[in-house]
Structure 1
Amino acid sequence: QRLLKTTGGVMSLQLILLLALTSRAAGLSIPLEGEMPQPPTIISHTSSPVIAFPYDSSVSIRCEATGNPPPEYRWTKDGQDFTPPQPTTTKTGSFVVYNKQFAQFQGKYRCFASNTMGTAMTEEIELIVSSVPKFPKEAITSIVVNEGDPIILKCNPPEGLPPRQIHWMSVDLQHIEQDERVTMGIDGNLYFANALQNDSRQDYCCVAAFARIRTIAQKTPMIVEVKRSSMIPSLLLPSGVQTEVVLLKGKELQLECLPAGLPTPQIEWMKMGGSLAERAQFDKFGKMLIISNIEESDEGKYMCKAKNPAGEAAHYFDVIVEEPPKWLTEPPRSQLTVIGTEVHIKCSVSGKPPPVITWRKNGEIFRVSPSNYVLDDTVELHNASPEDSAVYQCEASNQHGSILANVNIMVMNMAPLILTKNHQYDVVEGGDIILNCSVFGSPSPETLQTTEGERYVLHQNKSLQIFRAEKDDSGQYVCVASNSEGRSGLTAVLDVKDRTKIFNPPQDVQVVSGTAAQLMCKAECDKSLQDTFEVMWMKDGDEIPLSSKETSKYSVGEDMLQIMNVGLSDQGMYTCIVRTSLDEDKATALLTVLDVPDAPTNLELLVLKSPKNVRLSWIPGSDHNSSITEFIVEYEESQWEPGRWKHLQKVPGNQATAELVLHGHLNYQFRVYAVNTVGPGPPSEPTETYKTPPAAPDRNPENIKIQGHLPHQMDISWEPLLPIEHNGPGLEYKVKYRRLGVGDEWKEHLVKRHSFVVRNTSTFVPYEITIQSRNSHGWGPEPKVVTGYSGEDVPTAAPQDVAVEVINTTVLRVSWTPVPPATVRGHLGGYDVHWVRKRSLLNLNRSLDERQSLSFPGKRSHAFVPGLEPFSEYRLTVNVFNKKGKGPNSDPVTFNTPEGVPKQVPILTASNSQKDSVFLVWGPPPETNGILTGYLLQYHLINETTLEVVDSQEMNITGADTTQWQLQSLEEHSLYRFDLSACTRVGCGPSRAQESYIATQTGDGFMSHLIKSSSRVPPSSSLFNISSDVSDTFAKISWTAREEQQDLQLYVAYMNNRDGNWRISEAVNTSQSFHIIDGLKPGTVYTVRLMAKRLLDNGSIFEGVFQTRMKGVASTQRNLSSQGWFIGTMCAVALLTLVVLIACFVRRNKGGKYAVKEKEDLHPDVESPGMNDDTFCEYSDSEEKPLKGSSACSLTGNDAIGDGVSRDSLVDYADGGGEFSEDGSFIGEYSRPKHRGSVSEPSGPGPVTA
């Protein structure tokens, strides 16, 4: 035979191998192609014995064989030819015996299968017909014995189908108790070593049970009567001196000695000349020796000895171990041989006694001839010919059984026959593959092998196995077989494909019960196998039926298994299996489900020191993969709040007991639940009701309060005991009291409520009080003494020697002499300090009445008073107070606060920037806190790229009335920041900052300039060109952000100056460059702020003022600012602004404090027709005190409804359009605020975004 791998017609592999016979013990397997003859081979038959039970309808006896031509069957019964009850076919020799025929068909059967090539036969098949076993009917006489005599109660059970079990019982089916004195023997008899009086009874019944036929038979009850009467030991069983015991190897040896004697003898076992096997065991209280799985080494003589004080008796057992026939190695094998060879059929067996070997040919006794004969256990065929082809039988037998082997001998010459067809084989890279080449021939074909390497193995059955296949192994393989009779071959094609593999396996995951779990599984395979590629999921080794409607909780998506609503039952090992028709890969992950703990079980109560002190124990439930952190013990009592479970105690998670302290006179139930990181679990089943006996109260009331609502009485109240704390019926309280330190007797009262009033007391005197609880079972513990006071009254004295010390402009130190304790007439609450600001030292003619006060608790003689106004006159008094009220005021003290620094100027604007100058305008500070001397101006040159200060200068501007300044000698085309502070003789106040770009005015209008206000703005603020475009109900706020400050957030806040309510927008991105404010009122002045945070108190980026147009006013043209007359008008407006500011300042210095009514008269409503050019405004800090109710300050009488020109900077709005018809910027009108404005969310539509 040759195996060749060819590529492109070139031979690359040639194999030669030896053909071995594929055989069985039952026969020779010969290919059937080409009608090859084959001797019979038994392939199936019924094992012996066959038992026919009375309830069986039929039994089947099978016999089936193969062969060519198909074999014919015949049967023998008990060695005689037998014809089955119904005809057999050529396919099978089986037959059926029906219930009515059981008795006549009982016997031993043998099946013979024959064809032209020979005859095969089976071992004997015994058919046993089982009958219903019964005890014979007999008359039972009473057994009368003397005490101490042995008794043998004979059973004589009927024969039946084993196994048979014997029992001794009473008529009420109670087993007769057996011990070292009473024993049932192997023979079924009941043996008494000696009789006792209590052995007398009338219902000794022997019962035989046959499990296989489900039958129980009972013998007639026997009567035993024992009379009073000692004897030396004797053996009831076995009889005689020696017994021979023969049994098969592997069986169980049972040796039994049942003694008689009084007292009851003791049994000893020994093996003569050796020791008992380690497997030896004793039964029936030492009366039976048992050795299981007996071996040849267990052969020998054994002795049992019965002893008591009166003597002893012995018996010997000669144990012989035999064995049925068995094959020494294996049954003889079938043979295929060439004509003229020598054939040896060896039948090697063993057994004890030695088996007798019987040889048959085709079922007939083998006849010896000169060329064919039997030598010991071997049949020899000399110069074999085709006539010697047959089925030979070797049967070995002894008294314990027999074994049989059918041996097929084929003597023939035949050319090689290839049984395997041409085939294409597929294997994945790295896998093993077997290329089959099944060949039959005689003599054995010759082969030639030309391959090398450990990956190639040629098996005896002609198959070529390739281990760890590689891509280069793909190609054609040719198998060629030849012998002296001829030659044949086949071709196989091998294709090595890519492996299927998981490259993204599922990972272990933990999920909480009730959520979803996801397991990823990504894989790849050979493209040619894509049609057979499939993914399967398994849980704990069982496939998940993803297509089933019952498994809707599973879904397979994109390379993923999703488990919905995970429960505890979903926990386990999940395996992803990806497979093709050639291979598969798998990966496993553990899904751990976390859930709340199970309820504890087995709750038990144990009483400790008293019935009210118990220990509760339990067995924790499963923690469901999350450790238990704590247990919660709850209780329910049926008297006061039945059905309501309340918390009692918390126990650490590693503890399963809790000591509980209970109240008396209650019916308790307890339950426990566990808590882990997932949450609390369900509660346990409640305990049985536990009742505590009534007892005296365990405690007295707490939180005792002693008050005096009236000067001559004392009110006592306390926290009553809870109902469950009563411990019994009839709860009440004993109140005792007496004056402290005067030696009075105790006065006591019993009350059921939880308060008591002591009347007619002196004002504020100390008392000792106790409150003790009691019920019908006794008093509570000894109460503690509490000290309290009777009712208070208002103090009668005022502090003396009140003096003040001015610390600074706003802080004062006050001192006084405390009042005598007796005049307090109650618990000292503290001292009140009252002060009144009478007038400002700047305006002595104007009276004020600004009152304030502070309370200082406790006993003290001085205090610090903050928040004073500088440069003012004050009056101050002090009084003492208690819970009842305030005492009289001290004599007033008058003092003045020193001069301070001014507050921040309310506004600073920079306009009309020329080539090297700028015009600054500001308003005077709202509070000068002293005599205003002038201003300090600091100006800084700013690097526009880094926003750092390049150069700084400062100058003092003298004159309190100065509110504008032309600053010269500045650098052209440069950015400046101006800081202005107001000053008094004491110093300068906080500054206000303003930035401005210095540029030459162009011919078509004013240069846009940046207006920023508030000293709270950081100098690095990066928004410029801030302007407004307004209509009657809308305003568009525009800005330009530096490139590095794009995509930041800001907030736009605006306030109607008449109502003082601020509204703040949502966050706006700086890159948007504008924000629209809608829902505005026509002809109304608004203040607007740009802020970095959504807080009004935060530093704002910009603050300004604008006014909406009146309804019906026509829109101005976009090019209005380019007209010459317009520019002239604007210059006049700017000049008029300066005049108004100067007038305001002069008027204020001449008596600028006005009554509220006067100020309201001077500031009419902006929409009222009486508005005229002479109206003026006062300045205030608009950032800290938003405007409310202030009117707009017009520079011209018709400015609000005129041409819509901006009042300050006239910044040209280049991006306007749409609904806006007015071009302008912010106007800076401020008036003194009455109070801070409130903040609210915008009520109109939100901002419009581009």
Structure 2
Amino acid sequence: MNTAYLESLHICFCCFFLPLWGLVYIDEHLKKQIVGVGETARFVCLTAIHPADVQQVIVVWTHDGVPVNLTRHNKYSYQRHANQHILVIEHTDYRDSGEYSCQAKAGTVEDVSTAHLTVLGVPEPPKNLQLISCHGQSAELVWDPGDEHGASIRMYTVQFNASYQPDTWHDYSEPFDGETANALVSVSPWGTYAFTVIAHNSAGPSEPSNVTSSSCSAPPDKPDRNPKNVHARTDTKGKLVIEWQPMERLYQHGPGFRYHVFWRQSSSTYWNSAYQNDAAADSYEIDVDTVYGLYDIRVKAENDLGESHQPAFVFKGHSGEDEPIVVPKDFRLDRSRPLTSSTAHFIWEAVETSVDKIQGHFEGYRLEYWKSSEGRHKMKQTDIIVPHEQKDEPDVRAAISGLPSYTAVRAQVVVVNTHYSGPPSHIIDFFVPEGVPEKVRQLRAESVGMTYVLLKWLPPEIPNGVLVGYHIDYQQVVNVSLGPVIPLHPEIKNPSTLGARITGLEPHHSYRFYVSAKTKVGLGSPDVVDIRTVNGTLTEASKEAIPKWNMQKKKASISEGRQIVGSMVMLFVQILVMYLGM
């Protein structure tokens, strides 16, 4: 009978009827799996059978036709949920790749489903790498591919080292196609080289292959390039300092390697030249009588076989700078801007920025300032860069932030080029206004009772003005929630008072206190301390001793000498009122 017809008949039967007694089939087939090395693979096999035969179903798992050893609990585990059979493979490695089958049996009837597991990882290194030829500056390599480990080889990278630097491996400039197993590579003159090869797939690069047992030696030749990053450095007066990036031994190509340095003033047609014979050198200095003069410069690589095959590019560079000779004029405070407790604004006339005046590249200005009480040796500086669109304006405006409050300050301005500053302007004196103080120091709870706390602190290290007192806020802490912040009154008006006894607190409660120093400008940032009052039960007598407005409104008060007397008078009045009301 036609096989396709039987299969379609079986599918139709499975879809529309319950399986007959003794008939089992796989209702949901295994699905292929792709996992990385060390990951977990999971195959699910869903069987269908008549309910009366569920307990008769036996499922056998195989790997490449061999039964899976389910007693290896560190590798395999088998789970069953009704008609669902699950094989879990832990800590996969490349040996776990292959065909997995779920074979469901009920008596003499069985059905099988198969799927592939791919354990994906970086490929094995290429094997049996050999150098089969070496002629002039060419070497030919062949190798055997290693195991792909689940993903096809995308490319190969050839690496080489040189006998004079055997621990340094270089990648060949171009990769080779993953379907090839040989490579023809060029090598640099004047060296002896060994090779290795790395395979790449979608999971990453392999370890390097074995190193070739034989090496390839190339004869010397002239250099094929010149130094990079040729430029002039301008920080040395009276010198033209030409710098470049030194060329590695790999690119010197022969003995007697040296740098041929050329220079001329840009207005001249005659080239001066000299040799730097140190192959590791990165500069050459020439004495000149120009200040920030413009020069043409170039550096060419040479060895005993001749100069580089490539022409050397010509670059522009300047000789060393010197101090600017121009002085900013009419330096003063900018009265159109407010002088605050931390910022001062200045204005002065812009200077002429020609090379003759600046003696270098004009960078801008530098504001210099210091406390009048300390002198220039503690001078601070702020660089002022003039935007290009403002360079033609007649005046320059700038500001200094972070000034010390309530302090006499002196300031001046100078012109700067890349490396030097010019003579200063005249000095101006000004006084920075008061600001808010810094935090109080060493805030702490000196003692804590059931209903009170005694706070102590030290004044701010930097008051930023004249202290006029202290301000205290508090809030109750319940679990992780904070209550409203409540200010304590009256404020401390005497800056010499460095503590406060705060009463009227609840026993066994947590509070957070904030203490801020104050100048006439305002409050500084607060320091914070958390306390918890002592646990206990207030007697009726002790309740009578606490003013009622404290107990009911949960307010605290600062007890100082005169307030204690006032509280006693208030208590007497309250007791008298209570007595008359009875």
CA distance in 2, matches of 1:652, 1:807: 70
Q: Could you tell me which residue of structure 2 aligns to residue 769 of structure 1?
A: 297
What is aligned with 1:543? 66
Find the residue that maps to 1:724 and give its secondary structure: helix
Partner of 2:272: 746
1:1234-1249 alignment runs, 5 A limit: none
Kept in 1, the 8 Å contact 2:328–2:348? The answer is no
Q: State the distance in 2 between where 1:566 and 1:621 align.
A: 20
Aligned AA (2:172): L
Helix, strand or coil: the match of 2:275?
strand
Map 1:511-526 onto structure 2 (within 5 A): 511-521=35-45, 523=47
The answer to whether residue 82 in structure 2 is matched with residue 556 in structure 1 is no
Q: Is the 8 A contact 2:222 2:253 kept in 1?
A: yes
What is aligned with 1:390?
none
In the alignment, residue 40 of structure 2 is paired with which amino acid?
A
1:641 aligns with 2:170: no
Aligned to 2:250: 724
Please give the alpha-carbon distance, in whole angstroms, between the structure 2 residues aligned to 1:1120 and 1:731. 102
Q: How does 1:477-556 map to 2 (within 5 A)?
A: 497=21, 499-502=23-26, 505-521=29-45, 523=47, 533-540=57-64, 542-544=65-67, 546=69, 553-556=75-78
Q: Secondary structure at the match of 1:642?
A: strand
Tell me whether 1:832 sits opposite 2:366 in the alignment.
yes
What SS is found at the alignment partner of 1:890?
coil
Deviations 1:317-364 (A, max 9, x none): xxxxxxxxxxxxxxxxxxxxxxxxxxxxxxxxxxxxxxxxxxxxxxxx
CA distance in 1, matches of 2:379, 2:272: 51
**Retained in 2: the 8 A contact 1:803–1:816?**
no
SS in 2 for 1:1123: helix
Partner of 1:878: 413
The amino acid that maps onto 1:817 is A
Indicate the residue corresponding to 1:1191 in structure 2: none
**Cα offset, 1:723, TM superposition:** 1.0
By how many angstroms is 1:1122 displaced?
Answer: 6.3
- The amino acid that maps onto 1:812 is H
Closer, same or farther in 2 for the Cα pair 1:793/1:557, shift >3 Å? same
For residues 830 and 1119 of structure 1, do their structure 2 counterparts lie closer, same or farther at Cα, with a shift above 3 Å needed? farther
Partner of 1:676: 201
Higher helix share: 2
Pairwise CA distance, 1:708: 5.7
Alignment of 1:966-1005 (within 5 A): none
Structure 1 residue aligned with 2:349: 816
Are the counterparts in 2 of residues 732 and 773 from structure 1 also a CA contact under 8 Å?
Answer: yes
Partner amino acid, structure 1, of 2:262: K
Native 8 Å contact 1:536 1:543 kept in 2: no
Amino acid in the other structure paired with 1:1012: V
1:793 and 1:690 map into 2 onto residues whose CA distance is: 54
Q: Which amino acid aligns with 2:312?
A: P
The answer to whether the 8 Å contact 1:837/1:875 transfers is yes
Q: Which residue of 2 aligns with 1:985?
A: none
- Counterpart code for 2:103: I
Are 2:328 and 1:855 aligned?
Answer: no
Deviation, 1:667, is 2.6
Q: Deviations over 1:743-791 (max 9, x none)?
A: 6662423522514333475554444433222112111133233444444
User: For 1:698, what is the secondary structure of its paired residue?
Assistant: coil
Report the equivalent of 2:102: 576
Q: 1: CA distance between counterparts of 2:469 and 2:68?
A: 93
The reply to whether residue 891 of structure 1 matches residue 414 of structure 2 is no
CA deviation map 1:147-167 (0-9, x unaligned): xxxxxxxxxxxxxxxxxxxxx
In 1, are the aligned partners of 2:515 and 2:527 still within 8 Å (CA)?
yes
1:716/1:963 CA distance change after superposition, 3 Å: closer
How far, CA to CA, are the matches of 1:1135 and 1:566 in structure 2?
Answer: 69
Distance in 1 (CA, whole Å) between partners of 2:248 and 2:62 is 60
Aligned to 1:778: 306
Equivalent pair of 2:70/2:77 in contact (CA under 8 Å): no
Q: Which of these two proteins has the greater Rg computed from alpha carbons?
A: 1
Q: Distance in 2 between matches of 1:649 and 1:587?
A: 49
- Equivalent AA in structure 2 for residue 497 of structure 1: W
Report how far residue 726 of structure 1 moved. Answer: 1.4
Q: Distance in 2 between matches of 1:512 and 1:663?
A: 40
Instruction: Provide Cα deviations, 1:1130-1178, integer angstroms capped at 9, x if missing partner.
Output: 69x989749x8xxxxxxxxxxxxxxxxxxxxxxxxxxxxxxxx59xxxx
CA contact (8 A) 2:344 2:400 kept: yes
Pick closer, same or farther for the CA change 1:649–1:784 going to 2, 3 Å: closer
1:607 offset after TM fit, Å?
Answer: 11
Quote the offset at 1:622 in angstroms: 6.0
- 1:833 and 1:764 map into 2 onto residues whose CA distance is 24
Aligned partner (choices 1122, 1126, 1133) of residue 546 of structure 2: 1126
**Distance change in 2, residues 1:670/1:851 (3 Å):** closer
Which residue, 315, 329, 346 being the options, matches 1:800?
329
C-alpha contact 2:470 2:515 (8 A) present in aligned 1: no
Matching residue's letter, 1:794: E
**Structure 1 position 585, deviation (Å):** 3.3
Gaps of 5+ in 1: 1-429, 432-467, 472-495, 840-848, 907-926, 931-960, 965-992, 997-1008, 1015-1026, 1039-1052, 1059-1085, 1089-1104, 1141-1172, 1175-1194, 1198-1250
SS in 2 for 1:830: strand
Residues 809-846 of structure 1: CA deviation (Å, up to 9, x unaligned): 3573634222553243344343102356889xxxxxxx
Aligned length: 474
Aligned 8 A contact 1:631 1:675 in 2: yes
Q: Deviations over 1:430-457 (max 9, x none)?
A: 99xxxxxxxxxxxxxxxxxxxxxxxxxx
Structure 2 Cα separation of the partners of residues 706 and 850 of structure 1: 34
Q: Would the aligned equivalents of 2:159 and 2:171 in 1 still touch at CA under 8 Å?
A: yes
Answer whether contact 2:365 2:385 (CA < 8 A) is retained: yes
> How much does 1:856 deviate?
2.1
**Partner SS for 2:199:** strand
- Answer whether contact 2:475 2:513 (CA < 8 A) is retained: no
Cα 1:788/1:1136, change in 2 over 3 Å = same
Q: Which residue of 1 aligns with 2:191?
A: 666
C-alpha change, 1:745 and 1:725, in structure 2 (3 Å) is closer
Report the Cα distance in structure 2 between the residues aligned to 1:674 and 1:757, rounded to whole angstroms.
48
Q: Residue 736 of structure 1 corresponds to which residue in structure 2?
A: 262
Secondary structure of the equivalent of 1:633? strand
Secondary structure at 1:769's aligned position in 2? strand
Distance 1:1119 1:626, change over 3 A: farther
The answer to whether the 8 A contact 2:22-2:109 is kept is no
8 A contact 1:711–1:762 mirrored in 2: no
Give the SS at the match of 2:422.
coil
Q: Following TM superposition, by how much is the alpha carbon of 1:717 offset from its aligned partner in structure 2, in angstroms?
A: 3.9
Structure 1 872/555 Cα, relative in aligned 2: closer, same or farther at 3 Å?
A: closer
Cα gap change, 1:745 to 1:564, in 2 (>3 Å): closer
Distance of 1:589 and 1:620 partners within structure 2: 27
Instruction: Give the CA deviation at 1:603.
Output: 7.6
The separation in 2 between residues aligned to 1:567 and 1:1028, in whole angstroms, is 68
Matches within 5 A, 1:257-656: 497=21, 499-502=23-26, 505-521=29-45, 523=47, 533-540=57-64, 542-544=65-67, 546=69, 553-558=75-80, 559-599=85-125, 611-612=136-137, 623-626=148-151, 628=153, 630-638=155-163, 640-642=164-166, 644-649=168-173, 651=175
Query: Counterparts of 1:818 and 1:658 in 2: how far apart (Å)?
Result: 66
How far off is 1:806 after superposition? Answer: 4.7
* d(CA) in 2 for partners of 1:963, 1:1056: 7
With the length of structure 2 as denominator, give the TM-score of the two structures.
Answer: 0.62
Alpha-carbon separation, structure 1, partners of 2:17 and 2:232: 100
Percent of aligned pairs with the same amino acid: 22
Letter in 2 for 1:878: V
Deviation at 1:497, TM superposition (A): 3.0
Distance in 2 (alpha carbons) for counterparts of 1:587 and 1:857: 76
Indicate the structure whose relative CO is greater, using CA pairs within 8 Å and at least 6 residues apart.
2
- Asked if the contact 1:838–1:850 (Cα under 8 Å) also holds between the matched residues in 2, the reply is no
The answer as to whether partners of 1:575 and 1:589 remain within 8 angstroms in 2 is yes
